[in-house]
Structure 1
C-alpha cells in the first residue's frame, strides 16, 4: 500500500491528535539513514502504520524546513507545497517591517499558506487575519500560529474576504498548480500572473482602490509587468534570488522605484536602490577592458536592473553593456557582488583552453559564464580537467566587437 501524500488530509490528520503530536515531537531530528530502523521500532511499539508514515513524512519535512525556519521548524507542521513556497523567516521579517514602518496595525495575509509571513507579522505585534482556501493547509497554518494570540486563521477564498476591518494586505499568490491528492503527481509552475491564486489583477485592483498592499512574486517578473506607482524589491538569500516584492501606497518608499536586497547568514541585509524606472533602451554605464578584477553582481542586483548603479558605486565598468560582468583595477569590498582576481585572459578556443588546463594540471574547474551559448557542463567535458590544481574560468564577450574570452581568475576571499 502506497504511503499517503505528505500534504494530504490523511497524512496531516493523524498528527493533529494528542497521541500523534506527542509521537511526532518525540522522534527528534530526522535522519534518512535511520528512517527504516525508526519505522520498524515505532511499529513494534504498536503505533498504527498510517500514523508512523505520517510522523516520518512530517519529520522529513521538518528537517528540510530548517533552512527556512531555523529552530522554529522543530515545532511546526508542513505540507510539501507549502514548504516549497513558504517565505524564509528572515525575509518574512523584512516584509513585516514594512507594515510596522507604515503604521499599519491590522494586516490581512491573503493566501497565507502554512503561515510564514503571518508568523513574522504577529511577532511584530500586528493583528493578523491569515486567510487560506485549502482546508488542510489552513489547519497547518492554525497550528503554526498558535503561539501568537494576535493571529487567527480563516479558511476562505482570498478574493471573497471582507477587508473593511484591516489596515493593509499582504499576498503570496500560489504560483503552482495543485496536486491531486494520492496520485503522487508533481505540481507545475505557473508563469501567467492571471493564473496565480489569487490572480495578479486582484492585487492591482486592491491597490487601485487605495488599499496598502504588498505582494510576493517570482523573481523573473519583467520590469514591464511592474505596475506604475509600485516599488519593486528583489531579494536574494545566500546568492540565490528568492523573490520580488511589490509595494503599493504607504508601503512603498517615495524615493525608491527599484531595489535589490542581499541577505546571508554573515550579517545584516544590504540594499541598493534607485529612484528611477528601469529603461533598457537608455544605457548610461561605462564599458572598458578587463582590469585587475572581474566583479560578478548578485542576482538581485541584476534582476533589479542596478548593474550600472553598482558599477558607479565600485568605480568599475562593464565588459560589455549587455552582460552583467564588471571590471576594475581596485577592489572595493561589497555585499552586492563577488570579486575575482584576474590571472590572465585567453581567447575562448577549446583547443587553447584544453592545453592551458593540461599544462596547469587543473582537475577542479569552476566555470562561470554570461553571453556564451555553451553550458559550463559542455565546456568542462571538452576541456577534460585532470590533476591536483584548481582554477576558475569566466567565459564571456567583451567590448563592442563581442570578442569571446576566457578569463582565468581566483575568487577574492569575502
Structure 2
C-alpha cells in the first residue's frame, strides 16, 4: 500500500518534476528512472501513484481557467468527490444572497469533507469548515481549499455526529470544547462514506457512515443542509418535508441529493435534472412525491433487510428503478428509453404521458416505453420499430436479412447474453445500420429491430 505524504506531494520540487514529465510526455519507465535518482523507493511509489491522479482530478474539477493547478488527494478521495458539472449546478441550491454589512457571514460545515469536493463550488460569500476524522483528508481539504476557494478554510478533526450535536448547544457535551462563533455553522453538506473495504466503492445502501438515520439526526442541528446518497437509496425512508433531487448527465444518474430545512425549496417534491458539462441545466422535472412509487415490494424489502445483517462486502441490492404507474400494452410504433435521472426518480411514466397519453410499458418491471408518437429528448432516447420476432437465432437472422442490416448495436433489458458474442454469432451482412433490443414483451423474450430517430427536443 502506498503511503500518503502531503508534504512531499505539495513540495515545489515534486510539482515541478511532474510539470516537466507531463510537458515532455515521459513514459512510466523514464519517470521511474528519473525519480530514483533523487527519491527513496517509498517516495517514488507515492509520486508515481499521485501522477496517475493528476489528469483525472484536472478533468473532474477544473475549467480551462485553472486547468494546470495541483490538488491533493488519493484515489479513494477522488472517486467519491463531486465533479465540476454537478458541483457547479448544486451551487445554485444555496442561499445566494450576499450578507448585509454588519450581519454575520453564513457558515457551512462540510461533514465527512474528504478532499473537499463538496466545498469547491459553494458560493464565495459562504464560510466553509471541513470536518473529518481522518487527518490526511483534512490536510487534503486545507490545501485544496486554498486552490479552489477565495480564502483558506478551517478544519475540525472530530466525529461529524458530535460536531452536529455541539452545533446547537452552548454548553460542552461529555467534556468536549463548547461550540463557539468560529466553528458553529448555519448549514451543512454531507457525503456519507460508502466504503467498507479498502479500494471498494460500496453501494449497498445500508453501509453508510454515518447511517441515514444519523443523517436525519444531524440535520436537526442546522438551519438546513444537503446529504448525498447513492441514487438507488429507497426514498420511502426520507421524511416528507425534505426535497429529493436526482442529478446526472444524459447518460447517467450520479446523485440522490436530499435537501433539508431552508435549502428544501420544494419540500415534499421529487426533482430530476440533467446537467450539462459546464454545470448548466439541460432539462428539469419536478412533481409531488407519490407514496405508491416509493413503496417497496415484498422481495425488495426482504432484500433490503437481509443486507443489513451482512458484512459490507457481501451485501447486494437491486438497483433497477423501473417501478411505474404506466399500463402494459402491445409493442407500438416507437420504443423509448428514459434518461437515467427520470428512471431513478420514477418520473418517467408521468413525463411520457405528458407527451403521449397512450404511452405504456411492453413488459412489467422493464422501463422501455412504447408510444404512437416519438417521446422527446433529452428525457428520452427514442427508436422507430422496424420489426420484431422471438429470440431464436434463425428468426433473428431472418429479420436482419429482411432489413439488410449489417452494422448492429445490441441493447439488453430482462435478457442475459453477451452482446459482443451474440452479434458475432448472428453475423449480420447487410448495408444498413440498426439497433436490436433483446427484452421482454408481456413477460416473454422478444427481439425488436429499430433505428434511432433524430432527437425531438422538449418544448417545455
Q: Tell me which interval the TM-score lies in, with the shorter structure as reference length.
A: 0.7 to 0.9
- My pick for the range that moved more, 245-254 or 51-60, is 51-60
* Change beyond 3 A, Cα 1:190–1:394: closer
The residue aligned with 1:307 is: 348
The residue aligned with 2:167 is: 163
Q: CA deviation at 1:87?
A: 0.8
- My pick for the range that moved more, 229-238 or 283-292, is 283-292
Q: CA deviation at 1:369?
A: 2.5
Distance of 1:279 and 1:38 partners within structure 2: 58
* Change beyond 3 A, Cα 1:375–1:264: farther
Distance of 1:30 and 1:196 partners within structure 2: 43
1:291·1:329 contact (CA, 8 Å) conserved in 2? yes
Distance of 1:224 and 1:203 partners within structure 2: 15
The residue aligned with 1:139 is: 139
TM-score, normalised relative to structure 2: 0.76
The residue aligned with 1:328 is: 371
Residue ranges of structure 1 left out of the alignment (5+ in a row): 180-185
Distance of 2:116 and 2:24 partners within structure 1: 22
Q: CA deviation at 1:355?
A: 3.3
TM-score, normalised relative to structure 1: 0.84
Q: CA deviation at 1:284?
A: 4.4
The residue aligned with 2:254 is: 242
Indicate whether 1:90 and 2:109 are aligned. Answer: no
User: What SS does the aligned partner of 1:303 have?
Assistant: helix
* Change beyond 3 A, Cα 1:303–1:153: same
- Note the alpha carbon deviations across 1:277-308, whole angstroms, 9 max, x for none: 24147964344433332111011111111121
User: What SS does the aligned partner of 1:348 have?
Assistant: coil
* Change beyond 3 A, Cα 1:23–1:160: farther
1:318·1:324 contact (CA, 8 Å) conserved in 2? no
Aligned structure 1 segments of 4 or more residues deviating by more than 6 angstroms: none
How many residues were matched structurally? 396
Q: CA deviation at 1:50?
A: 4.0
The residue aligned with 2:208 is: 196
Query: Paired residue for 1:319, among 346, 350, 361?
Result: 361
Q: CA deviation at 1:357?
A: 3.8
- My pick for the range that moved more, 81-90 or 155-164, is 155-164
Q: CA deviation at 1:351?
A: 2.4
Query: Paired residue for 2:275, among 263, 266, 272?
Result: 263
1:62·1:73 contact (CA, 8 Å) conserved in 2? no
The residue aligned with 1:28 is: 22
Residue ranges of structure 2 left out of the alignment (5+ in a row): 99-104, 169-183, 296-322, 456-460
- Note the alpha carbon deviations across 1:47-83, whole angstroms, 9 max, x for none: 5544443333222102223442134564212210011
- My pick for the range that moved more, 104-113 or 295-304, is 104-113
Query: Paired residue for 2:392, among 333, 341, 349?
Result: 349
Distance of 2:325 and 2:390 partners within structure 1: 28
Distance of 1:388 and 1:141 partners within structure 2: 56
1:20·1:51 contact (CA, 8 Å) conserved in 2? no
- Note the alpha carbon deviations across 1:95-153, whole angstroms, 9 max, x for none: 332222598931111011111111111x4421111112212121112111113216323
1:65·1:73 contact (CA, 8 Å) conserved in 2? no
User: What SS does the aligned partner of 2:115 have?
Assistant: coil
1:111·1:174 contact (CA, 8 Å) conserved in 2? yes
The residue aligned with 1:223 is: 235
Distance of 2:391 and 2:146 partners within structure 1: 58
RMSD of aligned alpha carbons: 3.0
